[in-house]
Structure 1
Amino acid sequence: MRYLPLTPDDRSEMLAKIGAASIDDLFIDVPEAARLTGPIRDLPDHASELSVERHFKSLSAQNTVAGDVPFFLGAGAYRHHVPASVDHLIQRGEFLTAYTPYQPEIAQGTLQMLFEFQSQVARLFGCDVANASMYDGSTACWEAVSMAARVTKKRKAILSSGLHPHYVSVTRTMAKFTRDQIVHRDPTLAAATDIDDLIDAVDDETSCVVVQYPDILGRIGDLSKLAKAVHAKGALLVAVVTEPVALGAITSPGEMGADIVVGEGQSIGVGLQFGGPYVGLFACQAKFVRQMPGRLCGETVDATGKRGFVLTLSTREQHIRREKATSNICTNSGLCALAFSIHMTLLGERGLRELAALNHALACQAADRLAQLPGVELINDSFFNEFTLRLPKEARPVVQALAERDVLGGVSLGRLYADNADLQNGLIVAVTETTTAEDIEALASALKEALA
């Protein structure tokens, strides 16, 4: 039996109330080319379960699996080794079926896990407090910009040229509905970050400056000077971390004065997926906690003095009046947050530092080897496990040529900045602990052939 709670008259009344002529008007922001005018072409009206399984298996067989070939893709999503125990533990029934603690008094295990997760993220980012996670890094970035506007009562956000273009795109999309002014320009293929330019750009109307650390080209800048300049103008410094393993080797953004630190937690505990699910990380300094989106789990004691956990802060529309909510984020990425927390617990501080050192050493080995190739220039003066090369020709066809040689050789800047002619020869190369010396040599050999 279909559930149809609204009559045609009900729908007409609702549309009239919001000023829409038809339901189609609600989808006007979807580009016309992306809208369907009928059934999807080339699909049968029906098929058996067996034939559908066979069809999709044939499609999946066309993919090149990351673990099967030398793999150097990064730019916001990284291949790390995830211990088998992570997957085993997150599939336990008490974790896998737990959704969200609407009745926290009977969800103590879920709350304790989120409390531990928050503690790990706060320490990793160098902040006082972290929330119970968000959808992913890009939406966490926008939430930080929105939070900065609430704190400062200003509406101008300056985004570093080194911020991942996907994060920029999400921020621009959301800012259309809040009327925040977004200031951003593309990066240049240079060793220096744009920190000095950001310092010059910040003014009295600025709500925040958003900077990625390390940035999209893998460059690492000292945020301390930027933080002082931003604070002098009454603005906030937002740092974005897309590779949290880096913080096992470099100073955390919070220690350098960042007010809000956000990022993508996929590198720790969450394997590469086709776009997700991933886990957004969000932390800030204590004085801003009441403007933080999402939820915050806290530790307390019960009536008998026993340790317990509660939802300390829930500033979302499901818990308080909609006009008072800081965000409409509806849930945390609980299962991915659990995977992150388990992996981080298995590593411990020493393990994370050792993992970071291994990543950096292998990246240095790869950078030195590739920079020896004729016409190839290493852009970076500093990097963690990701760096940018300038090739003597456009990078996109080179990446394709490498793939045809069974080497996934990196992410071309032309893929990320299709309209910027100055970046078409740039290639971002990521190296992790899963990379071997043989993989590096295979990339060097294949790249030499592709450039010949």
Structure 2
Amino acid sequence: MTSSENFVHPYIPNSVPSVRQAMLEEIGAASIEDFYADIPAGIRLHRPLDLPAALRSEVELTRHMEELLARNTSTRQVLSFLGSGCYPHHVPAVVDEVVNRSEFLTAYAGEPYEDHGRFQALWEYQSMMAELLDVEVVNVPVYDGFQAAGTALRMAGRVTGRRRVLVATAIDADKLSRIRDYVRPDHDITVVPVDPETGSADLDALHRELAAGDTAAVYADAPSALGIVDSALPRLAELAHDAGALYVVGCNPLTLGVLAPPSAYGADIACGDIQPLGIHQSFGGGNAGFIATRDEERLVAEYPSRLFGLAPTSVEGEYGFGDVAHERTSFALREEGKEWVGTAAALHGIGAGVYLALMGPQGMREIGDTILAHTAYARQRLAQVPGIEVPYGDALHFADFTVRYTGGRTAAEIRADLKERGIYGSVPTGEHEAAFCVTEVHSKADIDRLAAALEEIVK
């Protein structure tokens, strides 16, 4: 990009030199460099960014963007068995119709307090999520499920005044990395290894860790990163509470039509990602995180994110929608806030609300049953492939599951060969171990095609 002082960028406002100079004079700055004076010289680039010249016409820009987008391959163009936090699900057309309406689709959530349509839509989402999770309080979505887990654990730390966090179930490596980064330096994360034979929580090992004291929270995923719905989940709650810790459970909300919600087996805070609820994968994006608790002051006071509720107006008998306890949020406290939570995922909350309203209790039950059945069939079918073992016996799995390759080829090699056949899957979790995922979008024929391809590849 040219560094000429006279350059006017076609897509950057106020880049006309005379306009820029007038703005500098208005605030008493000599140059743009004045704004960066606090940045140490050692971490500055000291040269222009290596960017191409600006495209000066809309036609050129459109062509350039289309060329970039053409490099992507959507999971709708191939047969995908990728999961591990971002899942292939059917998104009903009505969800896209609603979230693309101009009332909701904006570049930023905005702060128009007269906009009760948006506030009501998010309140409806919160209400349906609360019913699904069997709690009273659910937040406006944060960025993703990883952040929701990190925030939930920081909330537990503030409530208990303690430092340690114990992870009791198998956890995705990327999720663990994000949580570690988010809760430091206030909290230390200890991962308690699961039982290698069953893939479930090691209760004896957890009990020993809890005996050391200073545990703010015990964290569990339901299902775990292995796809296992751990039968020990209720016992984890008992151990956590006996040690004076809170119990935080990350869950896939799409399981809750067929599985008990975390609140039913003792969770103080539930969290997770609403991507399975009518949100497109969007090339790895399309995520938004929820946090849910009972209506208890010590818990609600620690939410850093927005909560919408009903409030009476000046007109008798009329109600409106607005922020609940806004004074506790980073929006009100700014730099004094407990932590900072942005607004980028609110639109996904509206989409999830539309999805939940469309599905209803019966629809959620049916889709949950379908995924359980597809997961069981996929595990059974792949176990029949020579050179593949499907571990963890009869443990209940939902969507995600693990396979082991015993024929000598690595998981990375097998993944590459599947990709050549137009099949995405086999996410390596070890040199000879990989994760697959099935949902309601996969048919028996799809699973059989995967098995047939693996029979050719796995030697």
Q: Same fold (TM over 0.5)?
A: yes
Contact 1:99 1:334 in 2 (8 A): no
Q: Where in structure 2 are there 5+ consecutive unaligned residues?
A: 1-18
Amino acid paired to 2:66: K
Q: 1:398 aligns with which of 411, 414, 418?
A: 414
Answer yes or no: is 1:387 the counterpart of 2:418.
no
**1:100: how far off?**
4.1
Q: 1:215 aligns with which of 220, 224, 228?
A: 224
Change over 3 Å in CA distance of 1:44–1:411 after alignment to 2: same
Amino acid paired to 1:83: P
Answer yes or no: is 1:276 the counterpart of 2:285.
yes
Change over 3 Å in CA distance of 1:187–1:397 after alignment to 2: farther
Contact 1:159 1:168 in 2 (8 A): no
Change over 3 Å in CA distance of 1:440–1:399 after alignment to 2: same
Partner residue in 1 for 2:7: none
Partner residue in 2 for 1:359: 371
Change over 3 Å in CA distance of 1:191–1:54 after alignment to 2: farther
Cα deviation 1:14-53 (Å, max 9, x = unaligned): 97xxxx671655x8xxxxxxx897533xx64344554554
Provide the rounded CA distance (Å) in 2 between the counterparts of 1:299 and 1:327.
25
Provide the rounded CA distance (Å) in 2 between the counterparts of 1:365 and 1:272.
24
Cα deviation 1:188-239 (Å, max 9, x = unaligned): 7543312413333224200111111101110111311110110111111111
Contact 1:101 1:110 in 2 (8 A): no
Q: Where in structure 1 are there 5+ consecutive unaligned residues?
A: 28-34, 414-422
SS at match of 1:113: helix
SS at match of 1:75: coil
**1:62: how far off?**
3.9
Partner residue in 1 for 2:333: 320
Partner residue in 2 for 1:74: 83
Q: 2:302 aligns with which of 281, 284, 291?
A: 291
Give the TM-score taking structure 2 as reference length: 0.85
Partner residue in 2 for 1:443: 450
Answer yes or no: is 1:349 the counterpart of 2:349.
no
Amino acid paired to 1:399: R
Provide the rounded CA distance (Å) in 2 between the counterparts of 1:167 and 1:133.
17
More moved, 335-344 vs 279-288: 279-288
Partner residue in 1 for 2:235: 225
**1:432: how far off?**
0.8
Provide the rounded CA distance (Å) in 1 between the counterparts of 2:448 and 2:359.
29
1:12-411 correspondence to structure 2 within 5 Å: 22=40, 25=43, 39-40=49-50, 44-47=52-55, 49-97=58-106, 99-100=108-109, 102-104=111-113, 106-176=114-184, 178-184=185-191, 190-196=197-203, 197-203=205-211, 204-222=213-231, 223-241=233-251, 243-287=252-296, 288-303=299-314, 304-314=316-326, 315-320=328-333, 322-323=335-336, 325-331=337-343, 333-380=345-392, 381-392=395-406, 393-411=409-427
Cα deviation 1:291-319 (Å, max 9, x = unaligned): 12201111132231113222112222221
SS at match of 1:318: helix
How many residues align structurally?
425
Provide the rounded CA distance (Å) in 2 between the counterparts of 1:108 and 1:398.
52
Contact 1:316 1:322 in 2 (8 A): no
Sequence identity of aligned pairs in percent? Answer: 31
Q: Over aligned residue pairs, what C-alpha RMSD do you find?
A: 2.6
Amino acid paired to 1:374: P
Provide the rounded CA distance (Å) in 2 between the counterparts of 1:443 and 1:37.
50
More moved, 139-148 vs 275-284: 275-284
Cα deviation 1:34-91 (Å, max 9, x = unaligned): x897533xx6434455455444434433433212222111000001101111111111
**1:166: how far off?**
1.7
Change over 3 Å in CA distance of 1:409–1:301 after alignment to 2: same
Amino acid paired to 2:312: V
Change over 3 Å in CA distance of 1:44–1:192 after alignment to 2: closer
SS at match of 1:133: coil
Change over 3 Å in CA distance of 1:300–1:175 after alignment to 2: closer
> Which protein has the larger Cα radius of gyration, Structure 1 or Structure 2?
2
SS at match of 1:67: coil
Cα deviation 1:376-408 (Å, max 9, x = unaligned): 111232201221111123211111110101111
Amino acid paired to 1:147: M
Provide the rounded CA distance (Å) in 1 between the counterparts of 2:264 and 2:63.
53
Partner residue in 2 for 1:30: none
Provide the rounded CA distance (Å) in 1 between the counterparts of 2:286 and 2:400.
23
Provide the rounded CA distance (Å) in 1 between the counterparts of 2:96 and 2:35.
49
Change over 3 Å in CA distance of 1:70–1:36 after alignment to 2: farther
**1:103: how far off?**
4.8
**1:168: how far off?**
1.1
More moved, 47-56 vs 227-236: 47-56
**1:330: how far off?**
2.7
SS at match of 2:330: coil
Change over 3 Å in CA distance of 1:11–1:53 after alignment to 2: closer
Give the TM-score taking structure 1 as reference length: 0.86
Cα deviation 1:296-348 (Å, max 9, x = unaligned): 1111322311132221122222213642x232113262211100000110000
Amino acid paired to 2:249: A
